[in-house]
Amino acid sequence: MYSRRGDTGETDTPSGKRLSKDTPVIEWEGTLDELISQIGYSKVQLSWDDMKSDLHQVQLDLFHLGEEILTSGNGRKLRDESVSWMEGRINTYLKEIGEIKLFVVPGGSQEAATLQLSRAVTRRAERRLVELNVDQKCNPLSLQYMNRLSSLIFMMALAVNKRRKISETIFPWPNPERIQK
């Protein structure tokens, strides 16, 4: 499908305004679209229904978040309980994983690697949202949600490798080669 309306570098918004495709809000929406797609890719790689269900809920939440921002709060909005739901899911995965060592080198299984990529795209989307928040004040819940989302996806990646009985590769920190004075 094509309309030719974007051929000059502008796009339509739900409010009817035409904006340049390089404005912060459109950059945010493009990154959000990439994130939703990447999460979809991660979801189809997984074998476990609990994780698939969690990622499906996240995709729906992200669509609502995108609409909330594009309509300046006049459309569908992020669920009020979305952050507490995510915190509950993070805690569930944390119990499954056990001790966490930060600075995990992404990889292990294919499923975990795709989740780590989703986590990295989440961080970029969060940075775009922080940038957008400077000009267009966003619902604080949106910023909290994006921050928690990267944690949830990280926990899921660790849980996948644990379920697959694959040990994580930990990047040593602080650098053991550094001479302590």
Q: Which domains does the chain have, with CATH numbers?
A: 20-170 (1.20.1200.10)
Question: Tokens at residue 125, please?
Answer: 């989307």
Pairing of strands 18-20, 10-12: antiparallel
The pTM of the full predicted model, rounded to 2 decimals, is 0.88
Mean residue pLDDT of the chain comes to 89
For 110-119, the pLDDT digits (tens) are: 999 999 999 9
What pLDDT digit, counting tens, does each position of 121-143 carry?
999 999 999 999 998 889 999 99
For residue 176, pLDDT over 70 is answered with no
The label of the residue with tokens 């979809």 reads: 40
Q: How many CA atoms lie within 13 A of 131 on its CB side?
A: 14
